[in-house]
Amino acid sequence: MRHQPRTPIYLDFQATTPVDERVLSAMLPYFSTNYGNPASREHLYGREAHLTVESAREKIGSAIGAKPQDICFTSGATESINLAIKGLFFNNYEKDQHYITVLTEHRAVLDSFRMIESDGAKVTYLPVDNQGMIDPQQIAAAIRPETIMASVMAANNEIGVIQPIKEIGAVCRTHNILFMTDATQAFGKIKLNVQEMNIDLLTCSAHKIYGPKGIGALYCRRSMPRVQLRPIISGGGHERGLRSGTLNVPGIIGFARAAEIAVKGMNAEQTRILKLRNMLHEILNKSIPDIRLNGHSERRLAGNLNLTIPGIESEALIIALNETVAVSSGSACTTAAIEPSHVLRALGLSDTEIHSSIRIAIGRPTTKEEIEIAGKSIIAETKRLQELCLNTGGVN
Ligand SMILES: *Cc1c(COP(=O)(O)O)cnc(C)c1O
C-alpha cells in the first residue's frame, strides 16, 4: 500500500487507519453488483452473499485460531465489548456476580463494567505496575467463588503495553472462570490463538487494521466451555440470535481481507515498524533531554511510542505540530472527553506529567523519510515551547 504522501504526516494509527487499497477493491463489488442480503437464501443474490460472508467468517476465525461459527459480526469493538460484558451479566442475572478487570482498559470496557455494577454486579479493578503490566497472580488472588469472568486487554491503545494473555488465560481456566480479552489493538499485530491462550471472549475491529470503520467482531466460545450471552440487539435472529440486523456485507468482506493481509505480513511488517519506532525514539532522545517512555519498554506494540516531555503542554505541542505531524495526547475517546488519561494515571504519572505526554503511533504507510521529518518537527516545536515556557515562568 503506497498512499500519496500527505501532510500533516499521520502518526496516529492507534486511533484509526486508512483503508488499504486491496481491502477497498475487495469491498467495492458488494455495494452495487453483489448486493444480496445473506439472509435471503431463496435466491441467487442472497446465496452468493451468504457464501461470501461465511468465507469471511472463516478468515476472521482462522486469524485467531477460532471456529467460524464462534465469530459474531458487530458494528465494531465498542459493540462487541458491550455485548460480551452486558450479555454475560444479563444471562446470569439471578446470580451473585463478580467480575475482574484492570484500570488501564479501554473506556468501552470500563464503562460497560460501571453499567453492570449499577445493576448489582461486583467488579474488581486491578492496578498495574509503573510499566503498565498486570501480573497473572493478581488475577488469581482476586478470584472469588462468585467470579464469572476476568477481562484483560491484549494490547493497550495508549501505551501499547502487551499483557501476558496466555498466562492470564491459564489462570482463568484453572480457576474455572471465563476469560475475555479486548484484542482491538493486538489483532493482526501480535499472534493470538484462542485455544492456546484459553480465551473465551475476544473483541476486534476492522478500522484499526486498515479495514473500514463500523465493522468488528466478537469471538464467543460455544463449546468447552459454552459461553452464553443475552443479546443486546433483538430482531431477525441474525448471527445465531446473538446480534440481529442485516449484515454489513461490504464491511465484513473488507474486514476479512484486512485481517488476511495483516496476519500474512505480520512478522515482516512489525519488524519494519519496530525499526522506525526505535529510530524516532533515538532521534528524540538525542535532542530532548529528560524525555520519558511510558509503558514497558519491550512488552509493547511495535508502532507505539508514548512519551512524557517535561516542560511542555502536550495540547500546545499538538497544536504547534498541526501543519506537519498528526499525533495524539492519548486515546481518541479520552481526547473528546478532555479528561487526563486514566491509563497514564494508573501508571502513577502526576497530572502535570500526563498533560506533558503524547502518543505517537506508526503504521503501514509510514516511511523512513516521514519519521525523519516528524522527528525534526517534534524537536523544533518542543524546543520552541520549552523556551517560551522558561521565558514566561514555566507550566503551572
Ligand atoms: C479502538 C478501540 C476500541 C473501540 O473500537 P471501535 O471499533 O472503534 O468501537 C476498543 N478497544 C480498544 C483497545 C481500541 O483500541
Q: Which of 206, 235, 264 is the last residue of a domain?
A: 264
Ligand 1 within 6 A of 205 CB?
Answer: yes
User: Does residue 231 belong to any structural domain of this protein?
Assistant: yes
User: Does residue 220 belong to any structural domain of this protein?
Assistant: yes
Q: Which of 264, 297, 314 is the last residue of a domain?
A: 264
Can you give the CATH number for the domain in which 357 is found? 3.90.1150.10
* Number of domains present in the structure of the chain: 2
Provide the 3-class DSSP secondary structure of residue 251. helix
Question: 124 and 214: one domain?
Answer: yes
Question: 123 and 95: one domain?
Answer: yes
Q: Which of 229, 264, 299 is the last residue of a domain?
A: 264
Q: What are phi and psi of 321, to 5 degrees?
A: -90, -5
Which atom of ligand 1 approaches the CA of 205 most closely?
7
Distance 157 CA to ligand 1 centre (A): 8
Question: 311 and 245: one domain?
Answer: no
Question: 120 and 225: one domain?
Answer: yes
Q: In whole numbers, what is the pLDDT of the chain averaged over residues?
A: 95
Tens digit of pLDDT for each residue in 244-274?
Answer: 999 999 999 999 999 999 999 999 999 999 9
Can you give the CATH number for the domain in which 52 is found? 3.40.640.10
Alpha carbon nearest to ligand 1 atom 12, residue = 184
333 falls in which pLDDT band (50, 70, 90)? very low
pLDDT value at position 390?
A: 72
Q: How far apart are CA 94 and CA 97, in angstroms?
A: 9
pLDDT value at position 391?
A: 72
User: Does residue 74 belong to any structural domain of this protein?
Assistant: yes
Tens digit of pLDDT for each residue in 197-243?
Answer: 999 999 999 999 999 999 999 999 999 999 999 999 999 999 999 99
Distance 336 CA to ligand 1 centre (A): 14
Distance 206 CA to ligand 1 centre (A): 10
Among 283, 244, 294, 305, smallest CA distance to 382 is for: 283
Catalytic residue among 72, 172, 220, 333: 333
Which atom of ligand 1 approaches the CA of 156 most closely?
13
Question: 290 and 251: one domain?
Answer: no
User: Does residue 218 belong to any structural domain of this protein?
Assistant: yes
Alpha carbon nearest to ligand 1 atom 5, residue = 77
Average pLDDT for 81-92: 98
In the predicted structure, residue 393 carries a pLDDT above the cut 60: no
Tens digit of pLDDT for each residue in 345-389?
Answer: 999 999 999 999 999 999 999 999 999 999 999 999 999 998 887
Beta bridge pairs of residue 150? 100, 179
Ligand 1 within 6 A of 106 CB?
Answer: yes
User: Does residue 1 belong to any structural domain of this protein?
Assistant: no
User: Does residue 4 belong to any structural domain of this protein?
Assistant: no
Question: 228 and 276: one domain?
Answer: no
Distance 347 CA to ligand 1 centre (A): 21
Question: 249 and 284: one domain?
Answer: no
Ligand 1 within 6 A of 185 CB?
Answer: yes
337 falls in which pLDDT band (50, 70, 90)? low
pLDDT value at position 14?
A: 98
The grid coordinates of residue 336 equal 473528546
Distance 63 CA to ligand 1 centre (A): 18
- Chain centroid offset of residue 134 CA: 17
Residue 333 falls in the annotated catalytic set: yes
Q: Which residue has the higher pLDDT, 16 or 329?
A: 16
Ligand 1 within 6 A of 184 CB?
Answer: yes
Question: 241 and 328: one domain?
Answer: no
Tens digit of pLDDT for each residue in 153-197?
Answer: 999 999 999 999 999 999 999 999 999 999 999 999 999 999 999
Torsion-angle region of residue 121: left (phi > 0), alpha (psi -120 to 50) or beta?
Answer: beta
User: Does residue 2 belong to any structural domain of this protein?
Assistant: no
Question: 236 and 289: one domain?
Answer: no
Residue 208 belongs to what domain range? Answer: 21-264
- Sequential DSSP letters for 326-388: E-BSS-HHHHHHT---HHHHHTT--HHHHTTEEEEE--TT--HHHHHHHHHHHHHHHHHHHHH
Ligand 1 within 6 A of 334 CB?
Answer: no
Candidate of 82, 113, 157, 187 to mutate for ligand 1, largest count of ligand atoms within 8 Å of Cβ:
157
User: Does residue 50 belong to any structural domain of this protein?
Assistant: yes
149 falls in which pLDDT band (50, 70, 90)? very high
In the predicted structure, residue 101 carries a pLDDT above the cut 80: yes
Question: 117 and 135: one domain?
Answer: yes
pLDDT value at position 396?
A: 47
